[in-house]
A and B are shown apart, each in its own frame.
Chain A
Amino acid sequence: MQIDLKRFQETFFEEAAEHLSTMESGLLHLEESASDPEFLNTIFRSAHSIKGAAGSFGFTEIARLTHVLENVLDKLRSNLLAPSADLTQLLLRASDRLREVVDATRRGEPGAVPIDDILPELEAVLHGTQPAEAAIVATAVLAGAPHGELVYDVVFEPEREFFRQGQDLFLLLREIGELGEIVSSSCQRGALPALDDIDPELCYLSWRIKVRTARAAHEIRDIFMFVEGACRLEVNAESIVTAPGAPVTPTIEAAGRIERRASPDRRMESTSIRVSTEKVDGLINLVGELVISQAMVNQAVSTLAMTPALEEALMVVQRSTRELQEQVMAIRMLPIGTVFNRFPRLVHDLTVKLGKRARLEIEGAETELDKSVIEQLGDPLTHLIRNSIDHGVEDPEQRAAAGKPEEGVITLRAYHEGGTVVIEVGDDGKGLDRERIRQKAVSQGLVREDQVLSDDEINSMIFAAGFSTASVVSDVSGRGVGMDVVKRNVESLNGAISVQSTPGKGSRIRIRLPLTLAILDGLSVQLGRDIFIVPLLSIRQSVRPEKDDVKTVLGGRGEVFVLRGEQLPLVRLSRLFGVGGAVEDPQQGIVVVTENDGHRFGVLVDDVLGQLQVVVKSIEKNYRKIESVMGATILGDGRVAFIIDVAELHRIATRRRVPDEDVRTSEAAASAAAQEEVA
């Protein structure tokens, strides 16, 4: 049986993506933080790690590019190169290219992305022939470079599990050879068992190597930085070989004994394991089944004569099941910083491109959300930030004229609010031009000229399909597509989006999301003999209608529910789903008042049964898409209940309505028409 190399490679690709993110975040702060050695070390380590692992897998394109990139970073780290805006741009481009090469290699097309154009640029910087501003810092050379050669005694004892690092151990040894002359090398083979007892995945060898080099001790240690938690490493300066006419005393670092075993950080890392999401999802599914089974047991025994002991046991099982479910769900939770981290680069690139000045302030990056939610947030947030920079933040001159700092501020915040997560994208720019939005809406026939609209209603028009007030279409934004897609993306995550804006002071987009898509807090409602679940997040109240509270409109094609004088569109779930035996007289039923994107509407059901937490099962995966249904769940008695898609239901509730309808409700007629277009 051969080892499945793909498993190791997949780990490499995942880790390479993380290292590339670290590099990119670091490079964005290169100019202001380059004086901090640890800062540069962090970027360097990322490049070095990618190079080492790529080499051992035979990914030559990745290794080639990273090797040169690493050398440039090393020169920066050694103060042989000064940071500059041009150098930052070059390194960011190189990092982008590396990401493309890694992606192509992952797809099995390692040569698909060329690197021969960017390598010479990096080489030029490396050899001091670059046109970039980065200059060789001669004084730093004098201060930092070693003056003669030393013989280092390097003791390298890999852990048994070393091969799981994905590093080719011999490549590390060869790198020592590249630093200078190998004086002697001794391989310790005492731990190698008899042939029959060898486990080919374990490492039994260790080394003692003497190398003569003019390089510093930390450069030898750097070779092993990616594996320092998986080996014992000693680097001792043994004797001094001075260059003619240049007697020197070894630095404290070089002369001292440097012994490192797993650092505290590495030990912490070893307490975590990388598990495929498929396995986690399988576990979540099983726990979901367990929750359902437990509810079924509860239901089954509820008809029996309960003894105190049985009651107690059931309570314990229920509590443990709930705790187990919470713990398992927590495995899928990731800090939202994993998606926020890509935006400093976006802001940097866009401001450079548009000639604007803006900085990104991030708050609440540690806020956790389900992985599947986070994965789908990247595109909508990217669009919102692009819009903020392109349309929100003014040019530096305009800002100065308005008495604002020339540098604008884009804020990205995340925080918990009542069992949901709120994400805000704000800017301190010019704010929405409501008059212009209104004019555009009139010209597009979305609203009537004489129609009275609130500020919020006008603001929400930016989410209508094809709506854009941008006079100039750029490749950044302003094509009139996007905000409606953003809205739909958010709604597909069972979330809601709204916008607030103050002229001259800026805008803030607010996205409210559930913590997870796998379980849902819902209200169970009865329709005939069937049960449906309405997401609790969307429910505002439940009301038993009085006589005349429900009115027919649109010549009998629609109904409204009058709630304290306000007329809300009404949907009869029984008619929508064709449920027989349901309540026909509204006074015999209950109207569940729900809200979608700030717009309320009523849902008529027979009865409200109570709140419950349900495990969401995909209908589409197991059957097909059903309109107005976002999924299904299995109830405690084994019955299947559909979970209502409130956003889609809202669309149905409003799609037959027109702006000049005589019913004036809190539903903006213009918004309804816009919804019609989206539909």
Chain B
Amino acid sequence: MAELTKDPVRAEAAGDRRLLHLEGRVTVAQARRLLEVARRLGKEGRGVHVRCEHLTHLDCAGIQVLLGLNETLRGQGAALSLENVPESIQQTLRIAGLSDAW
């Protein structure tokens, strides 16, 4: 099932995996939209790969949702991974002590 939503939060199926594309700025303004998508992905219980190559900014509100999704997936034996994370966001995650949360 391919699910397309509007930018900057877009999810799609890729075989057994689910790809979650984050683009541009994902902040508190987009967090509700991200939460909607995350809840759907959580219900599916498949591994989620968050594609971050076009992500320019991710704030705490967005991170919380991803952490919540990660916990949900782990409870179902699946996992969430962040991929192609830009260096600036990696640095933020390091300072925030969240590099190893995934």
Interface residues of A (CB under 8 A from B): 1-5, 8, 56, 58, 163, 168-170, 173-174, 176-177, 182, 184-187, 189, 192-196, 198, 200-201, 203-205, 207, 209
Q: Given the known inter-chain contacts A58-B57, A195-B42, A200-B65, please indicate yes or no for A3 contacting B95, CB distance below 8 A.
A: no
Bound state CA distance, A4 and B30, in angstroms?
Answer: 9
Cβ-closest chain A residue relative to B36: A1
The answer, yes or no, to whether B97 is at the interface (CB within 8 Å) is yes
Which of the residues A5, A163, A185, A198 comes within 8 Å of B96, measured between beta carbons? A185
Q: Given the known inter-chain contacts A173-B96, A194-B68, A207-B96, please indicate yes or no for A201 contacting B35, CB distance below 8 A.
A: no
Cβ-closest chain B residue relative to A187: B97
Which of the residues A3, A169, A174, A198 comes within 8 Å of B68, measured between beta carbons? A198
Cβ-closest chain A residue relative to B35: A200
Interface contact B68-A187, CB-CB below 8 Å: no
Q: Interface readout for B50-81 with A: 1 if CB under 8 Å, 0 if not?
A: 00000001111101110111011000000000
Which of the residues B38, B60, B61, B63 comes within 8 Å of A195, measured between beta carbons? B38
Interface contact B60-A198, CB-CB below 8 Å: no
Q: Interface readout for B73-102 with A: 1 if CB under 8 Å, 0 if not?
A: 000000000000000000110111110010
Bound state CA distance, A177 and B96, in angstroms?
Answer: 10
Which of the residues B29, B38, B96 comes within 8 Å of A170, measured between beta carbons? B96
Q: Given the known inter-chain contacts A170-B59, A195-B68, please indicate yes or no for A185 contacting B31, CB distance below 8 A.
A: no
Bound state CA distance, A189 and B64, in angstroms?
Answer: 9
Q: Interface readout for B2-25 with A: 1 if CB under 8 Å, 0 if not?
A: 000000000000000000000001
Interface contact A174-B67, CB-CB below 8 Å: no
Cβ-closest chain B residue relative to A201: B28
20 pairs, A vs B, C-beta closer than 8 Å: A2-B32, A168-B60, A169-B60, A174-B92, A177-B95, A182-B94, A185-B96, A185-B97, A189-B67, A189-B101, A195-B42, A195-B71, A196-B39, A196-B42, A200-B34, A200-B61, A200-B64, A201-B31, A203-B60, A205-B60
Interface contact B60-A170, CB-CB below 8 Å: yes
> What class of interface size applies to chain B in its complex with A?
20 to 34
Interface contact A3-B31, CB-CB below 8 Å: yes
Interface contact A163-B42, CB-CB below 8 Å: no
The answer, yes or no, to whether B49 is at the interface (CB within 8 Å) is no
Q: Given the known inter-chain contacts A194-B72, A195-B38, please indicate yes or no for A5 contacting B29, CB distance below 8 A.
A: yes
Bound state CA distance, A58 and B60, in angstroms?
Answer: 15
Bound state CA distance, A400 and B9, in angstroms?
Answer: 72
Interface contact B95-A182, CB-CB below 8 Å: yes
* Residue numbers in A under 8 Å from B92 (CB-CB): 170, 173-174
Bound state CA distance, A170 and B98, in angstroms?
Answer: 11
Q: Given the known inter-chain contacts A56-B59, A195-B71, please indicate yes or no for A200 contacting B97, CB distance below 8 A.
A: no
Q: Most chain-A CB neighbours within 10 Å: which of B27, B39, B60, B63? A: B60
Q: Most chain-B CB neighbours within 10 Å: which of A2, A170, A194, A196? A: A170
Bound state CA distance, A168 and B57, in angstroms?
Answer: 10
Bound state CA distance, A168 and B29, in angstroms?
Answer: 12
- Top 4 closest A-B pairs, CB basis? A200-B31, A185-B97, A195-B68, A5-B29
Interface contact B32-A195, CB-CB below 8 Å: no
Interchain nearest-CB distance for A57 vs B (Å): 9
Interface contact A204-B28, CB-CB below 8 Å: no
Extra contacts, 6 of them, besides A170-B58, A196-B42, A200-B35 (Cβ < 8 A), are A163-B61, A168-B27, A174-B95, A193-B68, A194-B68, A195-B39
Bound state CA distance, A451 and B34, in angstroms?
Answer: 81
Interchain nearest-CB distance for B102 vs A (Å): 12
The answer, yes or no, to whether B46 is at the interface (CB within 8 Å) is no
Interchain nearest-CB distance for A629 vs B (Å): 47
Bound state CA distance, A187 and B66, in angstroms?
Answer: 14
Interface contact B64-A205, CB-CB below 8 Å: yes
Cβ-closest chain A residue relative to B59: A168
* Residue numbers in B under 8 Å from A205 (CB-CB): 60, 63-64, 67
Interchain nearest-CB distance for A59 vs B (Å): 12
Bound state CA distance, A182 and B98, in angstroms?
Answer: 13
Bound state CA distance, A176 and B68, in angstroms?
Answer: 26
* Residue numbers in B under 8 Å from A193 (CB-CB): 68
Cβ-closest chain A residue relative to B24: A58
* Residue numbers in B under 8 Å from A182 (CB-CB): 94-95
* Residue numbers in B under 8 Å from A1 (CB-CB): 32
* Residue numbers in B under 8 Å from A195 (CB-CB): 35, 38-39, 42, 65, 68-69, 71-72
* Residue numbers in A under 8 Å from B32 (CB-CB): 1-3, 200-201
* Residue numbers in B under 8 Å from A4 (CB-CB): 29
Which of the residues B58, B69, B95 comes within 8 Å of A185, measured between beta carbons? B95
Bound state CA distance, A649 and B65, in angstroms?
Answer: 66
* Residue numbers in A under 8 Å from B28 (CB-CB): 3, 163, 200-201
* Residue numbers in A under 8 Å from B68 (CB-CB): 192-195, 198
Interface contact A204-B64, CB-CB below 8 Å: yes
Interface contact B67-A192, CB-CB below 8 Å: yes
* Residue numbers in A under 8 Å from B42 (CB-CB): 195-196
Interface contact A203-B64, CB-CB below 8 Å: yes
* Residue numbers in B under 8 Å from A196 (CB-CB): 39, 42
Interchain nearest-CB distance for A8 vs B (Å): 8
* Residue numbers in B under 8 Å from A163 (CB-CB): 28, 60-61
Interchain nearest-CB distance for B27 vs A (Å): 7
Cβ-closest chain B residue relative to A58: B25
Interface contact B29-A187, CB-CB below 8 Å: no
* Residue numbers in A under 8 Å from B57 (CB-CB): 58
* Residue numbers in A under 8 Å from B101 (CB-CB): 187, 189
Cβ-closest chain B residue relative to A182: B95
Bound state CA distance, A168 and B92, in angstroms?
Answer: 12
Interchain nearest-CB distance for A353 vs B (Å): 44
Interchain nearest-CB distance for A1 vs B (Å): 6
Q: Given the known inter-chain contacts A200-B64, A201-B61, please indicate yes or no for A2 contacting B33, CB distance below 8 A.
A: yes
Bound state CA distance, A142 and B65, in angstroms?
Answer: 48
Interface contact B65-A207, CB-CB below 8 Å: no
Bound state CA distance, A168 and B30, in angstroms?
Answer: 14
Bound state CA distance, A185 and B94, in angstroms?
Answer: 8
Interchain nearest-CB distance for A22 vs B (Å): 26
Bound state CA distance, A170 and B63, in angstroms?
Answer: 10
* Residue numbers in A under 8 Å from B65 (CB-CB): 195, 198, 200
Q: Most chain-A CB neighbours within 10 Å: which of B25, B29, B92? A: B29
* Residue numbers in B under 8 Å from A168 (CB-CB): 27, 59-60
Q: Most chain-A CB neighbours within 10 Å: which of B28, B58, B68, B72? A: B28
Cβ-closest chain A residue relative to B30: A2
Cβ-closest chain A residue relative to B89: A170
Interchain nearest-CB distance for A172 vs B (Å): 10
Q: Given the known inter-chain contacts A1-B32, A169-B59, please indicate yes or no for A209 contacting B97, CB distance below 8 A.
A: yes
* Residue numbers in B under 8 Å from A186 (CB-CB): 97
Interface contact B33-A173, CB-CB below 8 Å: no
Bound state CA distance, A231 and B78, in angstroms?
Answer: 34
Interchain nearest-CB distance for A448 vs B (Å): 71
Q: Given the known inter-chain contacts A168-B27, A192-B68, A200-B31, please indicate yes or no for A176 contacting B60, CB distance below 8 A.
A: no
* Residue numbers in B under 8 Å from A177 (CB-CB): 91, 95
